[in-house]
Structure 1
Amino acid sequence: MAVPQENGHGDARGALHLLGDDASAEERPAPVPALPGSWQPLGARYHQGPDGRPGTNFALWAGGAEAVELCLFDEDGHETRHQLAEQTFQIWHGHVPGVGPGTRYGFRVHGRWDPWTGARWNPAKLLLDPYARAVDGEFRIHDAVYGHVRGWPEADVADTVRDNRDSARHVPKAVVVHDPDDWADDRRPKTPWADTVLYELHVKGFTMRHPGVPPELRGSYAGLAHPAAIEHLVRLGVTAVELLPVHQFASEEHLQRRGLSNYWGYNSIAWFAPHNGYAATGTRGQQVTEFKRMVRALHAAGIEVILDVVYNHTAEGGEGGPTWSLRGIDNAGHYRLQPHNRRAYADYTGCGNTLDAAQPQVVRLITDSLRYWVTEMGVDGFRFDLAAALARGPHGVDMRGALLATIGQDPVLSRVKLIAEPWDLGPDGYQVGNFPPLWTEWNDRYRDTVRDFWRGAQPDVRELGYRLAGSSDLYQRGGRRPYASVNFVTAHDGFTLRDLVSYNSKHNEANGEDNRDGTNDNRSWNCGAEGETDAAEVTGLRRRQLRNLAATLLLSTGVPMLLAGDEFGRTQGGNNNAYCQDNETSWLDWSLRDDPAWAPLFALTSRLIRLRREHPVLRQRFFFSGRPAHPGGLRDLTWFTPRGVEMTEADWYAPSQTLAMYLSGGALAERDARGEVVSDDSFLLILHAHHRPLSFTLPGRPWAERYEVVLDTAQESGLSDARHPAGTTLTLPGRSLLLLRSVAPA
């Protein structure tokens, strides 16, 4: 069935092709030529054509292709092909009169089949437009969607035997979208970075079990836009939602075969299209309007929308993966290939492939996508998954590389919030602290330090001091500010906050990988029992640890990020890699918010956010200097030992599980609109992670005359109205945190 053919290079290996049952393009009617149209913009744009008739212009970059066919599909799935005969600057384009919004389409791209040189063109495969603004249908695994013959026994040619079976019946279609919304009635919140509180949530999981959201809207963009969902965000006090991926994505084959799906969505395939699985109103373009309405509703509540975006790889996977889009458009023009074996991919992502962000056409694809989401979809910023992979050039990670440089000078993108996950899986991929100005970063050093401190695994307090004060050791270079550090204790990837204090080990059996998946480096402590328990001593300690962790996060300098549901004790049953659990394991259980055991945690979290908003000393815009703002004043930051005296160099190196920091509100390096220095209250924050009680002497003059307790995590509510004269020796219970307001001498 397979016959060797010349590959155009005289290579003795030949190129192998399969003559499939669905027949090749030669048996179909010749495609109808499209009108020339325009090479700009890329994608499908509905407009008035050059002949005055309405229609749609199609444009596709396919640098090394020999021919491109546009394929239109009617309501019955019948396919009509149009030859895109015009090519300008490697962009194939054409205008088809009469084609309007809602029309489904795809491309077939002709060219050489020579995997050994990275050429994987196969016109039998219907390809999704990378610029598609909407996608109709699901990505289901079928042998016909692979460009090569599956199951070829010889490993040296396993992915090189071309499969000529038509894939059109088995793949989703792009949709022509026309939505002229100009956002004239939208008011973006534009919260400064220093005032930002991030809230990471999953569009579907946030509302799937929300009793206040109508059942038909749960799990959708419309569900997140519902007043009942937004009411929680407003009550909590967060300023921005960071949405797990909403670009159209697909589930990996190994998940589909186990009856699971990629719930998190870190497997993108169309970077302009809102994921159609989150649309309650339809998938023929309605998802675009629904997404925009969601953004408007959040903006009206004063909440920014930040997207978690995955440009580092695509759902096509490694060389053995399906041919859904870029692989069939121009494989070598989009992906990083091994320099000495261009049949194979350079995989810096752990997902089989890596997008080559050093190539001009890839830079354009990514930046066009980003601008589209800002200007036409209304979003306010982006968190870039595995961002180090996007900074890779020919010689490794380069922070002056093409993509980062382009974003940094772009008049649209340079004005929005940019967050890097500052690592990938390749050599020198760990880049925490190295991204340029304009960028903030997920600070995993903060996460690990705070987890270790509260479980008693830190030998001293040096690392904790840096993390509490904004991580100047990582971010002070290059003119960056403390808000370059996105502080977090938990995120979608790993334990929830409740599970962090309930499990020593991961419990991922439901994922179907024999508990091998997910990290073993959890830095968690179960407080004496593994998993759920009725033991009052254990459950009481766990709730206190949750209060300690939440308070530490929200009282640290930097930008705090909360994981949705942590504020009321969400659990995943110990699963620290719930990426494939589209069920009650991952969906928020809203009954917990009003549960007497967990409602105090929600009240405490919202109170801490409000406290942070009311006091600029708790959300510093500049790094601490250790100096007073004016002669005779207090230094902006002072560290104390339990004896109530200032720490010395030796104290930082001494074994200790207690640290106290005094934040001087009179030493803020801020000015108001009139140029006057801003002042605030001063606070003393004491963190004590040892299991035994501790005697702590409150510092006296000049720092305070007396102190008022603002927060005491030893109390279930966290509330206390205690007042203490300076110099008082307090007894701090084991594993507790105390925040006190300083009352200055008269």
Structure 2
Amino acid sequence: DASGNIMDFPQLLWELRQEPSLKNIKLIAEPWDASGGYELGKASGLADWAEWNDKYRDTVRRALRGEEKMMEALKSSILGSPEIFGSVASGRKYSLNFITSHDGMTLMDLVSYNEKHNEANGEKNRDGHNSEFADNCGIEGPTNNPEIRKLRFRKLRMFQCLLQLSNGIPMLLGGDEFGRTQQGNNNAYCHDSELTWLDWELVERNSELLLFTRRMIALRKQHSSFLFAPKSNYQWFDASGGAEELAAYVRTLHYEVTNSAWPEQIMRVLINCFEQPVEFMLPKEIEWKVLIDSAKEPAEYIPPQASSAWLEGFTVQILRATGVKV
């Protein structure tokens, strides 16, 4: 209002939503401001806008740091944050899911730095957000250590999997698909230099990451009417295939998606947020084809799964039933 207070009803947002020339335009709200205003869930509920979902962002980041007590929040994030938007169906329409944006670290920097490095901004590293929920995987900054690099790229692929598997609208920051870095700077708005420019040489250098990202986007498009529709049904299990367990120490999710419009089709998603491998038990009577294993390079052959699947640490596997064993 005229005093700078946040209004109970966002009249301007509603008027924009009703504007005939904007009826086929997706309107997106960033529901917070620099002075402390935070209104996540309001623009969607009152004015039919999609909203940047920072709860999704922070949940996925914390889960991939291996934090405990995150699986219930991660499950909700995959379902479109119904506790924020009112239902899974509303989350599909209004939750704009993202892990990185123009503010903050790039995706590569999230797995390469624990702390922000904004010294080049001239403010003695005092600017920028202090809670990135980043994890450098063992060494701060660039490294040639093969094991750390392997873990970093495994997490990058896992981020892409979770983003494309979640109900809602996925938003990908340009450059994350091929490993763009800002050298740990999470507030680079003041730069017009190599720090913020897109380094197109990374397209070739990190071509496997780019290919994997394309595969995940294609998988989402191919299966969206099965995974993210009114007739989609989600059933949740623990890693052993039994009843779902979301105790504080649990760092796995295991769910099955069916859809009454395709009664013969079944998909399963296995998520391991532990550092070490975990065995997931599968129905013995069903044969499974591995569509995606985020621990593998895109060109690697992945054999069909039997009655169980071993997932490396920080890995997602997507399975599709191919038949019933006789």
TM-score (norm 2): 0.92
- Does residue 689 (structure 1) correspond to residue 273 (structure 2)? The answer is yes
Partner Cα separation in structure 2 for residue 433 and residue 516 of structure 1: 30
- The 1:640/1:559 distance shift into structure 2, 3 A limit, reads same
Equivalent residue, structure 1, for 2:94? 484
- The 1:529/1:654 distance shift into structure 2, 3 A limit, reads closer
Given that residues 79 and 88 in structure 2 are in contact (C-alpha distance below 8 angstroms), is that contact kept between their aligned partners in structure 1?
no
Given that residues 476 and 482 in structure 1 are in contact (C-alpha distance below 8 angstroms), is that contact kept between their aligned partners in structure 2?
no
Following superposition, the deviation at residue 578 of structure 1 comes to 0.6
Residue in structure 2 matching 1:737, options 303, 312, 316: 316
- The 1:618/1:506 distance shift into structure 2, 3 A limit, reads farther
Which one-letter code corresponds to 1:423 in the other structure? W
Following superposition, the deviation at residue 441 of structure 1 comes to 0.5
Residue in structure 2 matching 1:557, options 126, 149, 167: 167
Which one-letter code corresponds to 1:659 in the other structure? L
- Does residue 607 (structure 1) correspond to residue 204 (structure 2)? The answer is no
Equivalent residue, structure 2, for 1:415? 24
Given that residues 662 and 685 in structure 1 are in contact (C-alpha distance below 8 angstroms), is that contact kept between their aligned partners in structure 2?
yes
Partner Cα separation in structure 2 for residue 688 and residue 699 of structure 1: 18
Given that residues 437 and 480 in structure 1 are in contact (C-alpha distance below 8 angstroms), is that contact kept between their aligned partners in structure 2?
no
Residue in structure 1 matching 2:304, options 723, 726, 743: 723
Partner Cα separation in structure 2 for residue 687 and residue 619 of structure 1: 16
Partner Cα separation in structure 2 for residue 718 and residue 641 of structure 1: 30
- Does residue 639 (structure 1) correspond to residue 205 (structure 2)? The answer is no
- The 1:479/1:743 distance shift into structure 2, 3 A limit, reads closer
- The 1:524/1:453 distance shift into structure 2, 3 A limit, reads same
Equivalent residue, structure 1, for 2:75? 465
Following superposition, the deviation at residue 744 of structure 1 comes to 4.3
The structure in which a higher percent of residues are strand is 1
Equivalent residue, structure 2, for 1:714? 295
Corresponding residue pairs, total: 323
- The 1:401/1:574 distance shift into structure 2, 3 A limit, reads closer
Partner Cα separation in structure 2 for residue 592 and residue 679 of structure 1: 43
Following superposition, the deviation at residue 408 of structure 1 comes to 3.0
Partner Cα separation in structure 2 for residue 564 and residue 731 of structure 1: 33
Equivalences for residues 508-523 of structure 1 within 5 A: 508-523=118-133
Equivalent residue, structure 2, for 1:444? 54
Partner Cα separation in structure 1 for residue 31 and residue 299 of structure 2: 35
Equivalent residue, structure 2, for 1:572? 182
Which one-letter code corresponds to 2:310 in the other structure? T
Equivalent residue, structure 2, for 1:658? 252
- The 1:657/1:490 distance shift into structure 2, 3 A limit, reads same
Given that residues 507 and 573 in structure 1 are in contact (C-alpha distance below 8 angstroms), is that contact kept between their aligned partners in structure 2?
yes
Given that residues 439 and 484 in structure 1 are in contact (C-alpha distance below 8 angstroms), is that contact kept between their aligned partners in structure 2?
yes
Partner Cα separation in structure 2 for residue 572 and residue 741 of structure 1: 38
Secondary structure at 2:104's aligned position in 1? coil
Residue in structure 2 matching 1:529, options 139, 144, 147: 139
Structure 1: gaps spanning 5 or more residues? 1-334, 338-345, 347-391, 623-628, 630-634, 668-676
- Does residue 503 (structure 1) correspond to residue 113 (structure 2)? The answer is yes
Partner Cα separation in structure 2 for residue 542 and residue 745 of structure 1: 37
Following superposition, the deviation at residue 430 of structure 1 comes to 1.4
Residue in structure 2 matching 1:432, options 13, 33, 40: 40
Partner Cα separation in structure 2 for residue 560 and residue 415 of structure 1: 19
Secondary structure at 1:662's aligned position in 2? strand
Given that residues 460 and 653 in structure 1 are in contact (C-alpha distance below 8 angstroms), is that contact kept between their aligned partners in structure 2?
no
- The 1:438/1:680 distance shift into structure 2, 3 A limit, reads farther
Given that residues 81 and 91 in structure 2 are in contact (C-alpha distance below 8 angstroms), is that contact kept between their aligned partners in structure 1?
no
Partner Cα separation in structure 1 for residue 68 and residue 200 of structure 2: 35
Which one-letter code corresponds to 2:12 in the other structure? L
Partner Cα separation in structure 2 for residue 575 and residue 539 of structure 1: 20
Structure 2: gaps spanning 5 or more residues? none
Residue in structure 2 matching 1:494, options 101, 104, 126: 104
Which one-letter code corresponds to 1:721 in the other structure? I
Greater Cα radius of gyration, structure 1 or 2: 1
For residues 445-467 of structure 1, what are the alpha-carbon distances to aligned partners after superposition, in whole Å with 9 as ceiling and x for unaligned?
Answer: 11000000011113241101000
Following superposition, the deviation at residue 480 of structure 1 comes to 3.1
Following superposition, the deviation at residue 439 of structure 1 comes to 0.8
Secondary structure at 1:448's aligned position in 2? helix
Given that residues 10 and 47 in structure 2 are in contact (C-alpha distance below 8 angstroms), is that contact kept between their aligned partners in structure 1?
no
Secondary structure at 1:685's aligned position in 2? strand
Secondary structure at 2:20's aligned position in 1? coil
Partner Cα separation in structure 1 for residue 174 and residue 122 of structure 2: 25
Given that residues 709 and 720 in structure 1 are in contact (C-alpha distance below 8 angstroms), is that contact kept between their aligned partners in structure 2?
no
User: In angstroms, what is the RMSD of aligned CA positions?
Assistant: 2.3
Given that residues 52 and 97 in structure 2 are in contact (C-alpha distance below 8 angstroms), is that contact kept between their aligned partners in structure 1?
yes
Secondary structure at 2:215's aligned position in 1? helix
Equivalent residue, structure 2, for 1:584? 194
- The 1:696/1:481 distance shift into structure 2, 3 A limit, reads closer
Which one-letter code corresponds to 2:102 in the other structure? H
Given that residues 442 and 485 in structure 1 are in contact (C-alpha distance below 8 angstroms), is that contact kept between their aligned partners in structure 2?
yes
Following superposition, the deviation at residue 474 of structure 1 comes to 1.1
Partner Cα separation in structure 2 for residue 708 and residue 418 of structure 1: 38
Residue in structure 2 matching 1:543, options 145, 153, 158: 153
Secondary structure at 2:271's aligned position in 1? strand
Equivalences for residues 16-415 of structure 1 within 5 A: 336=2, 346=4, 396-398=6-8, 400-415=9-24
Given that residues 100 and 172 in structure 2 are in contact (C-alpha distance below 8 angstroms), is that contact kept between their aligned partners in structure 1?
yes
Which one-letter code corresponds to 1:693 in the other structure? P
Following superposition, the deviation at residue 497 of structure 1 comes to 0.6
Which one-letter code corresponds to 1:661 in the other structure? Y
TM-score (norm 1): 0.41
Given that residues 97 and 168 in structure 2 are in contact (C-alpha distance below 8 angstroms), is that contact kept between their aligned partners in structure 1?
yes
For residues 402-453 of structure 1, what are the alpha-carbon distances to aligned partners after superposition, in whole Å with 9 as ceiling and x for unaligned?
Answer: 31231232222243111010122456x2111222352111000110000000
Which one-letter code corresponds to 2:207 in the other structure? A
Secondary structure at 2:57's aligned position in 1? helix
